[in-house]
Structure 1
Amino acid sequence: MLKLIALILVFIYVVIPLLRFLMKAFVITQVHKKMSEQDIRAKQAASKARKEGTIDVDYVPPKSKSKSDQVGGDYVPYEEIKD
């Protein structure tokens, strides 16, 4: 019976505070990691932010080889009228 009481007291005064300390340290390290990741993302977003007066092209259509591209535009037939 005395061993059981000693075991309970050791658990209450040693194990529980030790677990509380370890959990607090774990949470603090996770918070710092997330904050540093957020800072990195914020710096990347700030560097990608557009400057005033610049133009960014997000999509460039692929070049197609069609006959209209080879002729150089639309062909309009005409006749010369001599005066």
Structure 2
Amino acid sequence: MLKIIAIILVMVYVVMPLLRFLLKGFVITQAHKMMSEQEIRAKQNAARARKEGSIDVDFVPPSASKTKTKPADDGDYVPYEEIK
């Protein structure tokens, strides 16, 4: 009977505060990690933000030297004169 009471007292006065201390440290480190990841994402998004007048090219077609197919014939060139 005394062993059970001693085990319960050790659990209440030693193990519980120790677990609380360790859990508190774990939560704090996870919160700092999440905040730093959020700051990194915010900086990346700010760097990616388009400025007015800038042009972003998402797709660059392969050059003619890399392709073996003949480019499509768009028709004949018709010279013209500008009338004022």
Identity of matched residues, % = 66
The CA deviation at 1:61 is: 2.4
Q: Which amino acid aligns with 2:49?
A: A
Residues 13-50 of structure 1: per-residue CA shift (max 9 Å, x gap): 11011101111110110111011011001001101111
When the two structures are aligned, how many residues end up with a matched partner?
73
After superposition, the CA RMSD in angstroms is 1.9
Return the structure number with greater relative CO, CA threshold 8 A, min gap 6: 2
**Structure 2 alignment gaps of length 5 or more:** 78-84
The CA deviation at 1:75 is: 2.7
Larger radius of gyration: 1
The CA deviation at 1:67 is: 4.6
**Structure 1 alignment gaps of length 5 or more:** 77-83
CA distance change for structure 1 residues 28 and 67 in 2, over 3 Å: closer, same or farther?
closer
What's the counterpart of residue 7 of structure 2? 7
More helix by share: 1
- Tell me the TM-score normalised to structure 1 length: 0.74
Are positions 1:66 and 2:74 aligned together?
A: no
Q: Which amino acid aligns with 1:19?
A: L
